[in-house]
Structure 1
Amino acid sequence: MITDSQLYSLAIFLGSAAMLLIVLYHFLEVNAQDDEVSSDLKDEKAGVGAVKPVGLESS
């Protein structure tokens, strides 16, 4: 049977390993470079749906 101190050590080890893997994943994800950059959008607002309604004209 596993003792309380062994269970405690196992929990500390597994929790620390999980946190290190999470930090490593985020570090790699932030610093990853995209293979191909899609330049379909003409400007930064072209893809967000910020379009003036048809019936409203500025005068």
Structure 2
Amino acid sequence: MISDNQLYTLAIFLGSSAMLLIVLYHFLEVNSEEHAARQKPKAVGGKSK
């Protein structure tokens, strides 16, 4: 069987790994090319109000 100490270590490791992957996913999603293409384009030339 798995001891309490091994279970504790496994839970800490898997929880930390999950949080790291979530942060990495959000970082990559925010900086993706598709996200940048959806932003409102800035006005080029013309008169500004």
Q: TM-score, normalised by structure 1?
A: 0.57
Of structures 1 and 2, the one with the larger relative CO (CA 8 A, separation 6+) is 2
Structure 1, unaligned stretches of length 5 or more?
39-59
- Displaced runs of 4+ in structure 1, greater than 2 A? none
Query: How much identity, in percent, do the aligned residues show?
Result: 75
Match of 2:19 in 1: 19
CA RMSD of aligned residues (A): 1.4
Using the alignment, how far apart are the partners of 1:28 and 1:13 within structure 2? 22
What's the offset of the Cα at 1:14?
0.2
In our comparison, the structure showing a higher alpha carbon Rg is 1
More helix by share: 2
Using the alignment, how far apart are the partners of 1:28 and 1:6 within structure 2? 33
Structure 2, unaligned stretches of length 5 or more?
39-49
Q: TM-score, normalised by structure 2?
A: 0.68
